[in-house]
Chains A and B, each alone.
Chain A
Amino acid sequence: MISSVKHIRHLYARAGFGIRFEELKQVENLSVKQAVAGLFKASENIIPVDIIAANISYKDFLLANEGTKKMFLQEQRQQEKALNIDWINKMSTRNTPLREKMTLFWHNHFACRTQNAWHAQQLNNIQRNNAVGNFKTLLLEVSKAPAMLQFLNNQQNQKNHPNENFARELMELFTIGRGNYTEQDVKESARAFTGWSFNKQGSFIARPALHDTGPKTFLGNTGNFNGEDIIDMLLTKKETARFICTKLYKYFVNEAPDDLHISAMADVFYSNNYELKPLLEFVFTADWFYADKNIGNLIKAPVEFIVGLNSQFYITYQNPDVVLQFERALGQVLFYPPNVAGWPGGRNWIDSSSLMYRIKIPSTVLNGGVIEFSGKVDPEDEAFIATTRKQKEAVTTKVQAQADWDKFLNSIPKGTGKTTIAQTILATSISSNITEIINKTTDIKTLVIELASTPEYQLC
């Protein structure tokens, strides 16, 4: 395959959170293969989230008196916030873009909510450690994570009183998907997971006294199965490889699944024993990955939007609450998926209000809420312009965020044309609308703020 800057940009938009000019300088002459290798190399480094120092016991909290309860709740909220911001920062600094992008994928695939930030951090690190590793290892560790055991009620799954929640979601959402198992399979496998539990220290334990040791019949096999056996049997089904590949295809390539490409992916995944690296290498070096119809057509998730903006313009926030407000307004608060099925994504991200927020946020962060307007001003707009200018300082004070404009502007090689700049900021091809912006703006700062305030900027 002949690679070009366009391919490199696309690779970074999908396998990471976009590309900065400084990165582009380093990789623009590489072949796709070399660039993919570079992304994996960078992601070999695993930097865990390590912001929650201790496990606050939720049970102790329930027994506590009113005053202590209030303190617990406050501490809990602080921890949730800290965890969220720490991850946003990790993604924004882009030391390990592919690993973080895959961690975000697993965060949504194994969607989970917990009030215990220690458990949430633990699960997040499991997803990070195994992000580009082996799916089986990942699945086993997630299944044994206290956050998940609690979220899907496996604490209540005991001999003679099975709770089917975990077993059902394991099949419906985590592995083979609907239509490939029966209600009886759910019932039987739930019994295999009885006794899977965790202790006060936040470690997994299998409690033999609560485990159902009777024979179970699962997917046509009968035996005294435990949880590991069930997971093994699910992975021998190629449907599992296909199910995960379909989701990955939608995440990395196109929301409309292509049977042929997904089958090819599933072959690679299955024959490599669920290793993720060969699968992702296969995708990122496939011709179809770089087909025009697969470029600039995915709607950025809110977190991708925020992270992309942060890192492109080297933004620092004095008040991290602002980032959380953005997440909330755009409909994706990390660690708060809507349910175990995760965020639906795609067009679901966009409604009138979220789109307005998306169009306003870049100028709010970068320029006190003002989009310097380079077109011909309609006389009736003069009042609007005067008002926003007047409010600019107030907005800047409120947002408390700084872009490093010097760093950004200096990273653009001398003599770079405005169209090239637009092609780096936007993933879509340059439409007449964008050409209009390019032609009218006279300085780079105004240009990039306007570009970041377009519908095109919502795509990657």
Chain B
Amino acid sequence: MKRRDFLRNTTLASGALLIPSFLKPLEAIAMGDMSGYKNLVIIQLSGGNDGLNTIVPFGNDIYYQKRKTIAIQQPDIIKLTDAQGLNPNLSALKEIYDQGWMSIINSVGYPNPDRSHFRSMDIWQTGSDANQFLTTGWIGRYLDSNCSTCTDPYTAIEVDDTLSLAMKGAKMKGIAVENPAKLYQATRDPFFKQLVHQHNSANLNEDNLGYLYKTMIETYSSADYIQQTSKTYNTTALYPQTAFANQLKSVAKFINAGLKTRVYYVSLSGFDTHTGQQNQQGRQLKTYGDAVAAFVKDLKQADKLDDTLVMAFSEFGRRVEQNASDGTDHGTANNIMIFGGKLKKQGIYNNAPNLAQLDNGDLKYEVDFRDVYATLLDKWLNVNNSHVLNRNFAGLNFV
């Protein structure tokens, strides 16, 4: 079938929405057009990061009483306020904090917290209640929510080789890209190309076969778009030599090259510190802090920091009291870190966690994590949060 006939037929048969993206006229993407194109970068710290040893509440004696062997000692803490300071392994973030590019929201969580890693991560990724099971992720539902720029899978990119639940909607899904060149290569298998080019309109019905073909064609065109666009930008900034820093380096490259992506997702694991916490968490925090600092500076230098917002979260914090193996066990509320060039509330957003009033040894949450999501959706991604979170959240005021 000729391309023109194909276009006409599919338009008639199943509506303009199903025209494969790669057949649409490519708009010229001049760098100038991209100013004001806002990006959200989500960093997932997997395993349950101990927030109390990350943003240390050194001003509270209870912290030292409950953590006899693993508390961070006062001289080592990088003090931010009279009450809280950074773990020394986050020293790279001090400069970012001082520039006003960092905000810390304390005591974020949800009612009836679950201490299982996978269940709590599920709750964070889907934005559900503790007793509710959703099959779509909150970013996926953002893609579903009819936002005008969400028609292509590359609207949300996860820098990984598989796609997290957070990125899966009912109709739309993001795309996982560990390495754009590799993905591009994989989609250029001659047999695959033949399938993409030879399918006919019948393959693009609303049924499951149509869905498979549509996904295949979108992958093909997205892989091309991501590779061709991102290779135009040459990263000159210096990043640490870690896998996590490489992920952020890729994200910066995508942003700086002007990729029309709204949401990026990266993750770093290794935070489940039941034993010998100080060294293990210290290493992970250093990897995290050094990479984020390099990333923020890279974006600043490319004049993209004002258009970028970063949110770092973990599925839960740890218990306030340490355990007998110099570690901490699964807890509940935790802090969230926000980075960006245009923060409304810079520095520490709310009170340090209340260590005196605990719920069975755990921090009580004061901010629902969905109020953080609601803020990002309403004020950054410009979509009414109730369309994504299934009910309306008031949101916060950090941006």
Contact = CB atoms under 8 A, between A and B. Distances in A.
Interface of A: 66, 113, 168, 255, 296-299, 328-329, 331, 338-341, 344, 346-348, 350-356, 359-360, 371, 373, 375, 377-378, 381, 384-385, 388, 428, 431-433, 436, 450, 453-456, 458-459
A338 B194 contact: no
Contacts of A458: 212
A375 B161 contact: no
Interface residues of B, number: 48
Nearest to A297: B208
Interface in B203-223: 203, 207-209, 211-213, 215-216, 218-219, 222
Given A455-B195, A459-B209, A381 B131 contact: no
B119 A375 contact: no
A328 B162 contact: yes
B122 A352 contact: no
Contacts of A299: 208, 212
B315 to A, nearest CB: 13
B208 A353 contact: no
A455 B119 contact: no
Contacts of A431: 200, 202-203
A331 B191 contact: no
6 contacts: A339-B118, A339-B119, A348-B168, A353-B175, A355-B215, A433-B203
A264 B332 CA distance: 47
B283 interface: no
Given A66-B275, A433-B200, A458-B212, A353 B161 contact: yes
A455 B210 CA distance: 9
Nearest to B128: A339
A168 B207 CA distance: 35
Contacts of B338: none
Nearest to A440: B194
Given A328-B162, A339-B118, A352 B176 contact: yes
B38 interface: no
Interface string B163-192: 101011010011110000001011111111
A255 B208 CA distance: 10
Given A113-B118, A339-B118, A344-B135, A433 B193 contact: no
Nearest to A384: B188
A33 B190 CA distance: 44
Contacts of B193: 378, 381
Contacts of A353: 161-163, 175-176
Given A384-B190, A433-B198, A433-B200, A354 B207 contact: no
Contacts of B173: 351-352
Given A338-B122, A385-B190, 20 more contacts: A297-B207, A297-B208, A339-B119, A346-B208, A348-B135, A351-B153, A351-B174, A351-B175, A351-B176, A352-B163, A352-B173, A356-B219, A371-B190, A375-B190, A384-B190, A431-B202, A431-B203, A433-B195, A455-B203, A455-B216
Nearest to A456: B209
A298 B187 CA distance: 25
A375 B194 contact: yes
A381 B163 contact: no
Q: Which 9 A-B pairs have the closest CB atoms?
A: A344-B135, A455-B212, A341-B133, A352-B219, A353-B176, A371-B191, A351-B173, A381-B190, A352-B175
B370 to A, nearest CB: 18
Nearest to B192: A359
Scoring B170, B195, B198, B199 by chain A CB atoms within 10 A of each residue's CB, the highest score goes to B195
Interface in B76-103: none
B202 to A, nearest CB: 6
A450 B191 contact: yes
A317 B211 CA distance: 32
A354 B168 CA distance: 12
B162 A436 contact: no
B195 A350 contact: no
A298 B189 CA distance: 26
Contacts of A340: 133
Given A338-B122, A339-B122, A347 B208 contact: yes
A168 B131 contact: yes
B70 to A, nearest CB: 16
A350 B187 contact: no
Contacts of A381: 188, 190, 193
A384 B161 contact: no
A347 B165 contact: no
A238 to B, nearest CB: 24
A455 B213 contact: yes
Nearest to A186: B131
A428 B207 CA distance: 12
A107 to B, nearest CB: 17
A3 B203 CA distance: 28
A152 to B, nearest CB: 11
A191 B212 CA distance: 47
Contacts of B161: 329, 353
Contacts of B153: 351-352
Contacts of B187: 356
A373 B212 contact: no
Given A375-B190, A385-B190, A428-B209, A354 B199 contact: no
A451 B159 CA distance: 31
Contacts of B212: 299, 350, 355, 455, 458-459
A184 to B, nearest CB: 16
A455 B198 contact: no
